[in-house]
Structure 1
Amino acid sequence: MSYFEAIILAIIEGLTEFLPVSSTGHMIIGTALMGIEPSAFVKLFTIVIQLGTILSVLVLYWKRFFKSMDFYYKLVVAAIPASILGLILNDFIDSLLESPLMVGVMLVIGGVILLFVDKWFNKPTIENSDEISYKQAFIIGWYQCLALIPGTSRSASTIVGGMTQKLTRKAAAEFSFFLAIPMMLGASIVKLYKFFKEGHTFTGEEINLLIVGNLVGFVVAIIAIKTFIDILTKYGFKLFGWYRIVVGLVIIAMLLSGHSLQII
């Protein structure tokens, strides 16, 4: 992997991780267009650069993380369903990860749903994600389980889940950002553990690539989060719904035209 490829992948990660558009789908297109082969390090890179995007949430919302322990407990409760289900269905999820077609189809289906969510959940009563109950946090956690299906989007699942619990679009999006921290941190730790357990080590250049990737992802994610909140507050989900449909159809079209796409 070159530095140029690492920067492009980090930009894709930073732009799409917190938006309801599926970072997996965009990684498929990005790696296919650049011809990146899925080596052990590349697979690790695409996960570990999430640490940079996690840091962006901590920087933007640092005051929220010093309010009370109650806030952390709710995040833990919300993270439980996907964590347990992910362990139980690990082999099945891995089989789904071998299907770029699944990603394309789920992008389209999720896009269609986003076209209507603003009408379905248009009477929110909770304007601050700190106000949700443990029960509501747990229910949102179950919606996050949908993201175990590649192409669904963790962000889309949790934001819609939040809206079903009477959160405003902004409050649901912010809780989705916070919930990403334990999930993405856990995924990075597991990926690093497996990488070293399989006997792999980092070269000096690979360490530099990880540093560059995380820095780029951090900066881009900050911009993406701020822009996303503005667009979401003013215009809702329709723009993202149509965008998902287009990206999903692009992936399906590339597969039908004979392109070899892989999920990294």
Structure 2
Amino acid sequence: MSILHAIILAIIEGLTEFLPISSTGHMILYSSFAGIASEPFVKLFTVAIQFGAILSVLVLYIKRFFRSIQFYIKLFVAFIPAAVFGLLLSDVIDSLLESAMGVAVSLLIGGIILLFVDKWFDRPRIDDSEDIDLWNAFKIGLFQCIAMIPGVSRSGASIVGGMSQGISRKAAAEFSFFLAVPTMFAATGKKMLDYFMDGNTLTTDQWQLFAIGNVVAFIVAMLAIRFFISFLTKYGFKVFGWYRIIMGLIIIGLLLSGMQMEVV
């Protein structure tokens, strides 16, 4: 993998991690079209650069992380479902990551759902993420597990899950960002551990790619979060829904036309 590939993947991660359009799906599709998807390091890289995105949340919301112990309890409760299902279904998840058609279908179905969520959940009762209780947090964590299917979007699933509990778009989005910290940190740590346990090592050049990727992902994610909160509050999900539908249809069309995508 070249430095250019690393930068592009990091930009994709930073732009899409906190938008409801699936960062994993977009990185799978790019690496497939670029012909680098089969490299073990690339699969590690696409997960490990989430660390840069995690840091962007910590920097932007640093005061929230030092406000109360209750904040961490809610994050822990919301994180439990992903931790359990992630460990139990790791092999299934890895197999799903190898299907470009699966990503395209998930983008399409998720896009259709996003066209209607603003109407389905238009009477929020909770306007501040601090008012989310433990039971709401746990149910949001269950929704987040749906994003283990590539192309679904972790942020999209958890935000919609929050809105289904009567939480406003802004509050649900913020809690989704907070929940990303333990979830993505655990996913990155597990992927790194598995990589080394399989007998792989990292060269100096690969460590440099990690550094570049995380810095780029951090900067881009900072900008994306600021944009998303403002845009979502004003306009809702419909634009993201149409984007997902168009992307899904284009990819399905390319695959059905016979285009080969390297995904294994």
TM-score, structure 2 length as denominator?
A: 0.97
Residue in 2 aligned with 1:14? 14
In the alignment, does 2:19 pair up with 1:36?
no
* Deviation at residue 64 of structure 1 after TM alignment: 0.4
The answer (yes or no) to whether the contact 2:32–2:263 under 8 Å persists in 1 is no
Residue in 2 aligned with 1:89? 89
Distance 1:92 1:202 in 2: 26
Q: Which residue type is aligned with residue 20 of structure 2?
A: P
Distance 2:248 2:206 in 1: 31
Distance 1:18 1:97 in 2: 19
Compute the RMSD of aligned alpha carbons.
1.3
* Deviation at residue 254 of structure 1 after TM alignment: 2.1
* Deviation at residue 262 of structure 1 after TM alignment: 4.2
In the alignment, does 2:134 pair up with 1:128?
no
Residues 134 and 42 of structure 1: is their aligned pair in 2 closer, same or farther, counting only changes over 3 Å?
same
Higher alpha-carbon deviation: 38-47 or 229-238: 38-47
Residue in 2 aligned with 1:57? 57
SS of residue paired to 1:146: helix
* Deviation at residue 263 of structure 1 after TM alignment: 4.7
Work out the percentage of aligned pairs sharing the same amino acid.
Answer: 60
Residue in 2 aligned with 1:212? 212
The answer (yes or no) to whether the contact 2:33–2:262 under 8 Å persists in 1 is no
Give deviations 1:27-70, integer Å, cap 9, x for gaps: 13322332324212111111100000000000000010000111
Distance 1:53 1:75 in 2: 17
Distance 2:32 2:44 in 1: 17
TM-score, structure 1 length as denominator?
A: 0.97
* Deviation at residue 168 of structure 1 after TM alignment: 0.8
Distance 1:37 1:165 in 2: 38
Distance 1:95 1:207 in 2: 27
Residue in 2 aligned with 1:79? 79
Which structure 2 residues correspond to residues 1-264 of structure 1 after superposition, within 5 A? 1-263=1-263
The count of residues paired between Structure 1 and Structure 2 equals 264
* Deviation at residue 260 of structure 1 after TM alignment: 2.4
Structure 1 residue runs of 5 or longer lacking an equivalent are none
Structure 2 residue runs of 5 or longer lacking an equivalent are none
* Deviation at residue 201 of structure 1 after TM alignment: 1.3
Query: Once superposed, which parts of structure 1, at least 4 consecutive aligned residues long, lie more than 3 Å away?
Result: none
Distance 2:23 2:263 in 1: 11
The answer (yes or no) to whether the contact 2:29–2:100 under 8 Å persists in 1 is no
Distance 2:202 2:245 in 1: 38
Distance 1:252 1:198 in 2: 34
Distance 1:70 1:20 in 2: 27
* Deviation at residue 149 of structure 1 after TM alignment: 1.4
Distance 1:250 1:25 in 2: 14
Distance 1:260 1:234 in 2: 40
SS of residue paired to 2:258: coil
Distance 1:205 1:91 in 2: 29
Distance 1:41 1:199 in 2: 12
The answer (yes or no) to whether the contact 1:25–1:248 under 8 Å persists in 2 is no
Q: Which residue type is aligned with residue 147 of structure 2?
A: A
